[in-house]
Amino acid sequence: MLKSESITSKRLTLRNFKQSDKQAVTIIFFDEIVKKTYMIPDFHDEKEAEMLFNKLCGNSHSQHHFVYAICLDDTLIGFINDVYIKDGEIELGYVINSHYHRKGYMTEALSMAINELFRIGYKRIIAGYFVENIASKRVMEKCHMIPLEKEEEINYKGEKHLAKYYAIEKGE
């Protein structure tokens, strides 16, 4: 089954990226609060950030990837993307501009994504978080994801972080 071009709720729209989203995404890429817990490369210049934006934009229009802009009205406030896809299982990453934290937007967006992924045929959805990012853990819990035994140490920006994972399976 094909993924939808856009998905809407009362407050949010998940949609394919547009070139006009570049500035909003670049703000997220350079957001120091976001960069603490969402693995974004350190860009040396705007050109490198533009290359990553173009990749996200292209992937959002592909049926082989799950990448959506998260929009409040017409404003891009974050995005959700596949980390890997294999045999009916997908791992997601997600990020929201720090100005929109603690308003329930990410929980709403992840819930929408989970419903869409089950609709198009995925059986298991996984997401991970750095243990110091309690807000991300709460998002997963509110979306009825359950903790996995899986954890790993990740070296990010010169620091070691413990990452833990949650999952939800179709029918849970």
Query: What is d(CA 85, CA 68) in angstroms, rounded to the nearest whole number?
Result: 15
CA distances from 105 to 12, 91, 98, 124, 158 (A): 8, 19, 11, 22, 30
Q: Give this prediction's pTM.
A: 0.94
| pLDDT tens per residue, range 62-100 | 999 999 999 999 899 999 999 999 999 999 999 999 999
Query: What is d(CA 77, CA 120) in angstroms, rounded to the nearest whole number?
Result: 25
What end-to-end distance do the CA atoms of the chain give, in Å?
Answer: 21
CA distances from 155 to 33, 43, 72, 158, 161 (A): 18, 17, 33, 6, 6
> Residue for token digits 């992924």?
117
Residue 68 has phi, psi (to 5 degrees) of: -135, 145
Helices (H) and strands (E) in the chain, counts: 5, 8
What CATH code is assigned to 6-123? 3.40.630.30
| pLDDT tens per residue, range 111-128 | 999 999 999 999 999 999
